[in-house]
Amino acid sequence: MTDSIDRRTLEAWDDAHVWHPFTPHAVYRAEEPLLVERGEGHWLIDVDGNRYLDAVSSIWCSAFGHRRRELDDAIRDQLDRIAHATFLGHASVPAIHLAKRLVDLAPDPLTRVFFSDNGSTASEIAVKMAYQYCQQAEGGRWKNRTRFLALGNAYNGDTLGAVSVGGVPLFHATFRNLLFPVHRAPSPYCYRCPLGLERATCGVACLDETLRLIETHADELAGVIVEPGFQGAGGVITYPEGWLRSVREATERHGILLILDEVAAGCGRTGTFFACEREGVVPDFLCLAKMLTGGYLPLAVTLTTEHVFDAFVAPPEEGRTFFHGHTFTGNALGAAAALATLDVFENDRILDTLPATIAHLEQALTRLADHPHVGDIRTCGLAAGIELVADRDTRTPFPTADRFAHRVCRHARDRGVFLRPIGDVLIVMPPLTIDTEEIDLIADALAHGLEQATAEQQARTPAEPTEP
Ligand SMILES: *Cc1c(COP(=O)(O)O)cnc(C)c1O
C-alpha cells in the first residue's frame, strides 16, 4: 500500500505533519534530506533507489549495517513468541538472558542490569540511582551528597536530568532555568582549550582542575559523570591518556560514584567492548544504548554494582524502592536483537577485526589534514571528528548561517556517502564491519565535499576588490 505513494506526496506530508529532531525546519527541505526506504548492509537506499554508504551508522548505532541476517532472524523468532510483556515487578525470558550475558562481559563488580529504552534514560537513571543511593545508603551517612560533577561539552541525552549534566551550550542553554545545578569541570578540548593553554606545555591542567573540583566538593558530590573514550556530541573530543584513570582514583578515594556514559563509546566503538577497558577503569554505573541492539531497536541498560543495589533492598514500607520504569522496559524484541548482536560480536570475532579497521580509518583521514578549512582531526577507535574552521591560523569558526559542514556533507552525498555533522565538526562513525574500500570512499567523498563547499564559500565571499 504505502509503496505506491510517490516521493513528492511523502515529502508534502513530511513538510505538513512531521517535526524532526535536532532539525532547523526553516532549512530542512532546502538541504535536501534523505528519504530512506530500505537498507542493505552498510548502505541506505532512498525512495528513488539511490544508494548511500551509511558513514554515521544511522547516528552511531548500526553496528553491522542494515538487514543483518542474524538480527533479522532473531527478531522474527522472538516475534513468534511474544513482542513485549511488562518488566515492572515481573519478568520475561530474553531480557534475563541479556542481563546474564552483559554481566558476564562486564568488568567486576558490575553485576546488576537496569533496562530502559534509550541513551538519555540510561544516563538519567544512573543519576537518579546515584542520588537515591546517597539518600538512603549506610544509615544516611551520604545524605549531603546531592550534587554531580560533569564536564563542559558533555552530552548524556535530552531528558532534563541528562540535560542538567550536559554541557553543550547550543543544545542546553535554552533550558538553563529548568535544570539542577552541577559542578562543571573543563572539557579536555585541546583544540579550543577552556583554560587557554596549549597541549605541548599544559601538563594536562584540565585534569588537575577536575581533580581539584572533586577534592573541593567531595562532601557534596553524589557522582561524577563522564563519557569515556570521547565526548561524542561535543564533537568527538578525546581525552589525554590516563585522564579517566586519575578521575576514577579520585572518586574512589572519596567514595563518590562514577557514572560512565558509554552510550556512544560502548559496544566496540573504541576498539574494546567497553570503552572503560582502555584504561582498566571500572565505574559504579555504566550506560549502554545505541549499538546495543545493533542499531535495530530502542533498548538501553544501566549496569551497576551489588553494593549500590543492596542499598535499595528493604521491606517495601521503608520506601527504598527505585521508582523508575518505562512501559517498554525490558522489551523482548529489543532484548532478542541485543542477544543476536552479542552473538555476532562473538561468532565473527568483531573485536579482533577492529584494530586493522581503525588503523585504516586513521590513515584514510590524514589526506584531509592539509585542507585549508580542516582545523583538527580527532579519532578514538572507529569514531572521528573533523573540525572545520574558516581560518586555520586563527581557528576562527565559520558563521553559523553558512552551514559549512552541512554543505560539505551534502556534496559528499553526490559521491554516494551519507554523513551528518555536528555544528562544524564532520563526524565519521561507520558500522564496525566497514571494509577498507568503503573507508576510502568516505575519505574521497569528504575530500570532494570539502572542495565543493570551499568553492561555494569563495563565490559567496568575493575577494577584496583590488586597486585598479
Ligand atoms: C546518543 C547519546 C545519548 C542519548 O541517547 P538517546 O538514545 O539518543 O537518548 C546519551 N549519551 C551519549 C554519550 C550519547 O552519544
Q: What is the pLDDT of residues 344-364, one digit of tens each?
A: 999 999 999 999 999 999 999
Distance 124 CA to ligand 1 centre (A): 11
CA-nearest of 24, 94, 36, 87 to 333 is 94
Percent of the chain whose pLDDT exceeds 70: 98
C-alpha cell read off for 395: 581557528
* Positive or negative: CA dihedral 24, 28, 31, 36: positive
Q: Which atom of ligand 1 is nearest to the CA of 300?
A: 7
- Report the distance separating Cα 229 and Cα 168, nearest Å: 17
Query: Average pLDDT of 449-464?
Result: 86
CA 26 and chain centroid, separation: 26
C-alpha cell read off for 170: 547550543
- Report the distance separating Cα 387 and Cα 379, nearest Å: 11
Instruction: Assign 4 a pLDDT band (cuts: 50, 70, 90).
Output: confident
Q: Which atom of ligand 1 is nearest to the CA of 231?
A: 13
Q: Which atom of ligand 1 is nearest to the CA of 59?
A: 1
123 lines ligand 1 (CB under 6 A): yes
Say how many residues make up the chain.
468
Residue 3: its pLDDT value, please? 59
Distance 9 CA to ligand 1 centre (A): 32
- Tally Cβ neighbours within 10 Å of residue 294: 29
Query: Average pLDDT of 17-25?
Result: 97
Examine the pLDDT at 221 and tell me if it is beyond 50: yes
Distance 230 CA to ligand 1 centre (A): 13
C-alpha cell read off for 127: 543519576
C-alpha cell read off for 419: 554523513
201-218 pLDDT, tens digit per residue, is 999 999 999 999 999 999
How far apart, in Å, are the Cα atoms of 291 and each of 296, 313, 360?
Answer: 8, 31, 21
Query: Average pLDDT of 370-383?
Result: 98
Residue 120: its pLDDT value, please? 98
b/e 254-268 (16+ beta carbons within 10 angstroms → b): eebbbbbbbbbbbbb
* Positive or negative: CA dihedral 187, 121, 92, 84: negative
Check if the beta carbon of residue 384 is closer than 8 Å to that of residue 430. Answer: no
233 lines ligand 1 (CB under 6 A): yes
122-148 pLDDT, tens digit per residue, is 999 999 999 999 999 999 999 999 999
Three-state SS for 223?
Answer: strand
Residue 172: its pLDDT value, please? 85
263 lines ligand 1 (CB under 6 A): yes
29-74 pLDDT, tens digit per residue, is 999 999 999 999 999 999 999 999 999 999 999 999 999 999 999 9
- Residues whose CB is less than 8 angstroms from the CB of residue 23 and which lie 6 or more positions away in sequence, other chains included: none
- Report the distance separating Cα 320 and Cα 311, nearest Å: 8
- Report the distance separating Cα 36 and Cα 51, nearest Å: 9
Q: Quickly list H helices, 294-434.
A: 306-310, 332-347, 350-365, 404-413
Name all domains of the chain by residue range, CATH numbers in brackets: 2-67+349-460 (3.90.1150.10), 72-347 (3.40.640.10)
Residue of 62, 225, 263, 429 with the most ligand 1 atoms within 8 Å of its CB, for mutation: 263
Distance 59 CA to ligand 1 centre (A): 10
pTM: 0.97
155 lines ligand 1 (CB under 6 A): yes
Check if the beta carbon of residue 376 is closer than 8 Å to that of residue 337. Answer: no
Residue 468: its pLDDT value, please? 46
Packed helices 93-105 and 332-347: angle between N→C axes, nearest 10 degrees: 40
Percent of the chain whose pLDDT exceeds 90: 96
- Residues whose CB is less than 8 angstroms from the CB of residue 135 and which lie 6 or more positions away in sequence, other chains included: 142, 143
Examine the pLDDT at 464 and tell me if it is beyond 70: no
C-alpha cell read off for 425: 565538526
Residue 1: its pLDDT value, please? 46
Distance 353 CA to ligand 1 centre (A): 25
Distance 263 CA to ligand 1 centre (A): 5
b/e 37-50 (16+ beta carbons within 10 angstroms → b): eebebbbbbbbeee
Check if the beta carbon of residue 148 is closer than 8 Å to that of residue 183. Answer: yes
289 lines ligand 1 (CB under 6 A): yes
Distance 296 CA to ligand 1 centre (A): 15
C-alpha cell read off for 118: 534509550
Three-state SS for 84?
Answer: coil
Residue of 59, 118, 238 with the most ligand 1 atoms within 8 Å of its CB, for mutation: 118
Distance 287 CA to ligand 1 centre (A): 9
